[in-house]
Amino acid sequence: MSNKLISWTLFILLCFIWGSSFILMKASKQGLTAPQIAALRIFSAGVFFIPFAFFHARHIPKSRMGLVVLTGLFGNLLPAFLFAAAIMKIDSSLTGILNSLTPICVVIIGALFFKSKTSLQKIIGVIIGFAGLCLLTFSRKDVNLHNLGYTGLVLLATISYGLNVNIVGKYLKEIKPVFMASVSLSIMCIVAGIVLWQQGFLTLDFADPVVQWSILNACLLGIVGSAFATVLFYALVQKAGGLFASLVTYGIPFVALFWGFLDGEIITLKDIGCLLLILTGVFLSNLQIKKPAPVAESNQPVKQP
C-alpha cells in the first residue's frame, strides 16, 4: 500500500472518529459535568495505555521525554477540557465546524515559532477551506453574543492543537506514534484522575441509568477518540506532514453535521455547498505539483534538417 493511500485512509478514519466525538460529549453531559467528561475521557485513555507505556517509555530518548509530555498536554488534556466546557452551551455540530480552525493555527504557529516553510499552494488551500468554514458558520447563525465566550474556548483548543502538531512534526518525527501516545496519555492520566477525585466523580449515583450512559460515552470518547485516534494522528503527521494532518479538522464537520442531523438538527443545501468548498481547500493543500524534469544539456551540435 502506497504512503499516499495510507495517508488518506488515516485521514478518513480520523475524520469519522473525531467528528463523532462531539455527539459523544453531548450525550455525556446528561449525567456528568464538563470537568468530569474531560477528566474521564483522558483518564480512560491513559488507563488503556498504561500496560504499554512501561515498555514504550524505554524507546523514547530522555532528551525527548519532556516534549512527549507536552504533546499530551497540548494535544489531549487542554483541548479535552476546553471542548467539554464549550459543548455545554453550543451545538455539537458547530463545535465540530469551529474545530476546523486548527490548520490555520498550524500555519501561523509554525511560521512564527518553528520557522516552518509553507508553499503558496498550501496557503491558498488553507484559505479556501477557511473561507468555506466562515460561510458555513455565518449561514447557520449559531454564533451570537450569548455563546461567544464558549466559541472562544474552541478557538483556544485549536491553538493548542496547532502547537502540538508543530512540536510533533518538528521534533518527534523519529519516535513511533504509539510510543508517544501511550506515554503521554498515561502521564496525563494522573492529572485526570486527580480532577475526577476533586470533582466528586466517586460520589455519583452509579445505579442511575443516565449516569451509566454518560460514563459509557465518556469512556468510549477516551479509548477511541483519544487513545486510538492519537496513535493514528501521530502516524499521519509523520507520513504526510503536520499541515495535511491538521486538515483532518476540515473533514470533521461532515461527520459532526451528520450526527447533528440524526439528532434533529437541520442541514441545508448551503451547508453542503460550504463543506464542498472546505474539501476543495483540503485537496489543494495536499496536491503534489510535479515539476518538469530539467532537460539535459548536450555538447553535441544541433543537426539542421
Q: What does pLDDT average to in each consecutive run of 10 residues of the chain (305 residues)?
A: 81 89 88 95 94 91 94 94 90 76 82 79 81 75 67 91 90 89 94 96 94 95 88 84 76 81 74 78 64 44 38
Is 110 part of any domain?
yes
Query: How many of the other CB atoms lie within 10 Å of CB of 203?
Result: 7
- Distance between CA atoms of residues 72 and 230, nearest Å: 10
Local structure of 150: helix, strand or coil:
helix
- Distance between CA atoms of residues 179 and 172, nearest Å: 11
Is 296 part of any domain?
no
Is 178 part of any domain?
yes
Measured in whole angstroms, how far is the alpha carbon of residue 129 from the centre of its chain? 16
Q: Give 268's DSSP letter.
A: -
pLDDT of residue 285: 66
Is 292 part of any domain?
no
How open is the CA angle 222-224-228, to the nearest 5 degrees?
A: 105
Is 50 part of any domain?
yes
Of 138, 4, 139, 161, give the one whose Cα is nearest residue 70: 161
Is 93 part of any domain?
yes
Q: What is the DSSP string of 23-59?
A: HHHHHHTTTS-HHHHHHHHHHHHHHHHHHHHHHHGGG
Is 300 part of any domain?
no
- Distance between CA atoms of residues 70 and 78, nearest Å: 10
Residue 181 sits in which domain range?
Answer: 3-286
- Distance between CA atoms of residues 82 and 41, nearest Å: 13
- Distance between CA atoms of residues 252 and 139, nearest Å: 18
Q: What is the pTM of this model?
A: 0.81
Say how many domains are in the chain: 1
Of 186, 172, 152, 175, give the one whose Cα is nearest residue 76: 186
Looking at this protein, which amino acid is placed at residue 197? W
Of 230, 117, 224, give the one whose Cα is nearest residue 164: 230
**CB contact at 8 A, 102 and 278:** no
Is 303 part of any domain?
no
Of 170, 54, 63, give the one whose Cα is nearest residue 115: 170
pLDDT of residue 271: 73
- Distance between CA atoms of residues 133 and 21, nearest Å: 19
Does residue 267 come out as left (phi exceeding 0), alpha (psi in the -120 to 50 range) or beta? beta
- Distance between CA atoms of residues 118 and 103, nearest Å: 12
